[in-house]
Amino acid sequence: MKLSTWTATVLATPAVATGVCLLCASTAQAAPDDAGSETSSAAASSAADTSASSSTDSDDTSADSTATDTDDGGDSVAGSDGLDDDDDVDAADLSADVEDETDEDLDNSSADPGPHYVPTTVRETLVTGDAVDVDGDGVDDGPVDEDEDDAPADDEPADDDPVDTVPVALEQISDAKEDLREATWDSGNVLAGLAAMLPQMYLSRASASLERWQQNHLLLQQRYAETYDDPFAHWLAGARIENSIQRTVRVQDQLEAAEKLLTVVGWFGTASQMEAIGQLIGTAADNGLVYQIVKMELQYNGNNPVRTEPVIYISVNGGEPAPVLVDTGSLGLIIDPRDVGVDGIGEPTGTGTASYGDGSSVFFWDSYDIPISVDGVESSPTQILVVELQSAQGFTDYNGDYVGVLGIGANAGGPGKFNPFLSMPGLLSQGVLFDERRRRLILGPNPYGARTTIPGAPSSQLQVKIGDGEKTRVDPWVDAGGILGSVPDNVYGDGPEVPPGTVVSVYTEDGETLLYSYTTTRKNTLSVTDSEDDPRFNTGFTPFSLGTLYFSFAGAGSTSFNY
């Protein structure tokens, strides 16, 4: 009898193990192991001066590479440049050249202000009320101190870099692997151990991917910054950075697969332990968030013939995804109440009014301490301004096709007090990259090497040269919601707008470094404002359309030109 039982066990074990592995592999298909970045193109070429913000006024031609890691969990062989060989991108990965498709010809018709146009002469808005400062996770409390040895990866000031959560994620992944081994093989549960092989593999690959990002990405950024004068080398460096970005995105897929497969391991008598390990993996996934690629649309502003408005979809307090303008020229999220989830919303933490333009449009709002969600990644609760019902229709008429304005300008001044992106998990709270040519935002640290970084976002100090005029110091407003932009008359002179064919060049504060330059057209030119009413130079959308711009959220913020 004993011999018969032993014999049956020996014969049955391979069959059981094979079934478990097949079942695990089938389940793993629910979480893909590879992720490609959105590739889209087009550069809008025109811009006017506006912002949908209620307090202050308010898109790189390299290919999107969907590079594939050959083995994230395996050993890597360093190339001659000190980087892993598989950071090199195959020709097939680099073949998706960016089309610079233009929405319309930039030399026709005049641009009329849209329904939410804020005249520059009356852009200073009135904000009153008793908004309450809500304490909570993700609130920007100023620059974070760093060790002197920690060098910033993108030439930004070291004290602008928040706490790095990636080492925490790596430790948690290591703990999850150890706990999983102890709950299966070490406890003598052979079947659970066999079922745990796939989750262990995914955890190992996730850990390897994060470690390799830590080791390689700074070197890739340095290579990118050193090759501005060599177009091919610069393009190749950018493609390798894209591969590095995708590696961190795949980490989330790998951790999700590992967590799902724990259910199968639990079938063999370790369900409660697997639940605890799953929670640990979920926390590691949050801490291991390095980049989040968000699809962006460029929308028209009223009758303006060029797409200039960067719009993304977010969910507020569990509501349906809704379109909001991402505005560097304001601070805080203000949104239509019909697009906010009501479950567990709680009581208002403050109330107030916001007056736009000439003061004829007044919106009442209540603030709530609730989360937002971007492509399934949820923030901790943060201050959200919800338009009161009595003002909802007017707010809709004013904004047009989007239902809210997400202000992310660190020193913009209002209408809110907090940037909701600061409440995102992992490294996503560090800042955001605008990549309008590829129709995307990238939350997280600056993925590219900055050519020049200026303090402040959106307000700073720059010099501007228009036509044959002299360089003039200006108070700029680097404004994603500024449409075509504007220049005060004490810089340019009288006239409703800068004539087509005029070269506009913008420099750093000392006038030594050219940030960007373009020639105005009939569709893309600066309006001229009364300097006594508005002394600021509003860039409008143009610098965003020429290449990637990165905005840091810490402190008063900073603006990095990566091109």
- Conformational region of residue 145, where left means phi above 0, alpha means psi within -120 to 50, and beta covers everything else: beta
Sheet with 558-561: list strands edge to edge. 292-295, 440-443, 431-435, 549-552, 558-561, 452-455
- Conformational region of residue 358, where left means phi above 0, alpha means psi within -120 to 50, and beta covers everything else: alpha
Instruction: Give SS3 for 242.
Output: helix
Could you give the residue ranges of the DSSP H alpha helices within 160-230?
166-183, 190-195, 197-226
Name the more confident of 468 and 98.
468
Question: Would you state the structure tokens that stand for residue 2, as one six-digit string?
Answer: 């004993």
- State pLDDT tens for residues 448-459: 989 999 999 999
How distant, in Å, are the alpha carbons of 261, 265, 391 from that of 272?
Answer: 14, 11, 50
Dist CA 416 CA 463 (whole Å): 29
Beta-carbon contacts of 225 under 8 Å, excluding residues fewer than 6 positions away, are: 155, 449, 450, 451
Cis status, amide bond into 458, omega within 30 of 0: yes
Global pTM reads 0.75
Residue percentage of the chain with pLDDT more than 70: 70
- State pLDDT tens for residues 15-64: 445 554 544 444 444 444 333 333 333 333 333 333 333 333 333 333 34
- State pLDDT tens for residues 224-244: 999 989 999 999 999 999 999
Neighbours of 15 (CB within 10 A): 9
pLDDT(360) > 70: no
Helix axes 231-266, 166-183, angle to 10 degrees: 30
Q: Are 328 and 409 in contact (CB under 8 A)?
A: yes
Residue 425: band (very low, low, confident or very high) from pLDDT cuts 50, 70, 90? very high
Task: Give the range among 297-311, 462-476, 513-527 with minimum mean pLDDT.
Answer: 297-311
